[in-house]
Amino acid sequence: MRVAVTGGAGYIGSTLVRSLLDEGASVVSIDNLTKGDYRYLRALDHPDLELVEGDIRDRELLEGSFEGADAVAHLAAMPGLVLCRERPEEAISVNIYGTHQVLEAARRLDIERVVFCSSAAVYGTPVEIPVDEEHPLRPLNLYGVTKLAGEKLMECYHMNHGMETVSLRFGNVFGVGLYTHWETVIPKFVRQGLGGEPLTIYGDGESSRDFVHVEDIVQAIKLALKTEGIGGEAFNVGGETVKIGRLAEIVSEEIEKASGRGASAVHLPPRPGETKRFSYRLDKIEKTLGYRPGWSVRKGVRQLIAYRLRQMKGEG
C-alpha cells in the first residue's frame, strides 16, 4: 500500500508516517515546513519514504506527489484558534482551499480513500455531555469553522464522486510521537514544572478536555485508511476526559516522583473562544473501526516527563 500524507513533517503526521512504514507501507509526505521539520523523518533513512516540500494549495505539486497512491491522509493545516485568529486569510486559504485542492487532486488520480483530520472544535459549546457525532456543529472560532468546512468538502466529494472520504474529530492531542511540541496544555505543564515555573491554568481549573495520545490518534487514522464501507462518515477520536485543575495535580505528582519536587499552579483569566467543559462519546469509532485508546493521561505524562528530562540532559 502507498499512502500520501499531507503535513507529514508535523507532530502527528511524522508519527503516522513512521507507523505506516513500520507496517510495510510506502509513504510520500507533502509539507511546506512552516511548522513541521523533516529532520526526524530523514533520520529514519527509510527506502520507502519520499519527502516533498510544497504547499497543499499547489494542485500540480499534489498530483505529482499523489501519483500511485492508494489513499491520502490529509493532516496539513494551519492549527489552533490563536494562529487562525491572528492570520485569518491564510487560515481560510490553507484549511479550506487547501483541502479542496487535496480532494481535487485525489479525484483526478482516482484515489478513492481520503482521511481528513478534523477537530473537536467543530462542536463548539456542548449542549449535552458526552458529545457524540450527532451533536450540533456550532464552532466558536475560525479554526473550528475551517475544520467544519473541510468536513463538508469531504461530504461533497463522497456524495458527488463516490470517494471514500472520512473525517476524524481529534480531541486534545498529547504525548511523544516521533517528537513532540511543548505548547499545548499537557506538554506545557510538563515543560513548566520541570523548568521550575508554575503551571499556568486559564480560568478556575474546572474546564475539562478529552485528551488523546498521539499514538492513539495514529491508530485511528490507520483504521480509517483501511476499514471498508465508511465513506462520508465522521468519527470522534478521544481518550480520557480530565479537568485542567486535576491535570495540573497529575503533572505535579509525576514530576515530584521523577525529580523529587512538585510544581505549583497559577490561575490566569480564561481565554475567549474556548469551551468550558468537553468530553467525547466514543461508541461509534469503537464499534465501527475497532478503535481502543491505549494511553491514559497519567501514562502519557510520565512519558513526556522522561522525554523532557532526556532533552534537558542533552540526550534527546
- Burial (CB count <10 Å: 0-12, 13-18, 19+), residue 147: buried
Instruction: Provide the whole-model pTM.
Output: 0.95
Query: In this predicted structure, what is the pLDDT of residue 273?
Result: 63
Query: Do 214 and 12 contact (CB within 8 A), yes or no?
Result: yes
| Residue 143 annotated in active site | yes
φ, ψ for residue 315 (rounded to 5)?
A: -100, -10
Instruction: Tell me the pLDDT tens digit for each residue of 158-200.
Output: 999 999 999 999 999 999 999 998 999 999 999 999 999 999 9
State yes or no: pLDDT of 272 exceeds 80: no
For the chain, what is the mean pLDDT? 96
Catalytic residue among 143, 157, 280, 291: 143
User: What is residue 81's predicted lDDT score, i.e. its pLDDT?
Assistant: 87
Question: Which pLDDT score, from 0 to 100, does residue 276 have?
Answer: 83
Are 116 and 168 in contact by the 8 Å Cβ rule? The answer is yes
Residue type, 312: M
Lowest mean pLDDT among 73-87, 101-115, 265-279: 265-279
Q: What pLDDT digit, counting tens, does each position of 209-244 carry? A: 999 999 999 999 999 999 999 999 999 999 999 999
Q: Is the pLDDT of residue 201 over 80?
A: yes
Closest Cα to residue 62, out of 5, 1, 146, 17? 5
3-state secondary structure the chain: CEEEEECCCCHHHHHHHHHHHHCCCEEEEEECCCCCCCHHHHCCCCCCEEEEECCCCCHHHHHHHHCCCCEEEECCCCCCHHHHHHCHHHHHHHHHHHHHHHHHHHHHCCCCEEEEEEEHHHCCCCCCCCECCCCCCCCCCHHHHHHHHHHHHHHHHHHHHCCEEEEEEECEEECCCCCCCCCCHHHHHHHHHHCCCCEEEECCCCCEEEEEEHHHHHHHHHHHHHCCCCCCEEEEECCEEEEHHHHHHHHHHHHHHHHCCCCCEEEECCCCCCCCCCCECCHHHHHHHCCCCCCCHHHHHHHHHHHHHHHHCCCC
Beta bridge partners of 51: 29
**Mean pLDDT, residues 135-147 taken together:** 96
Q: Which domains does the chain have, with CATH numbers?
A: 2-171+214-238 (3.40.50.720), 174-209+241-312 (3.90.25.10)
Give the C-alpha separation, 276 to 268, whole Å. Answer: 15
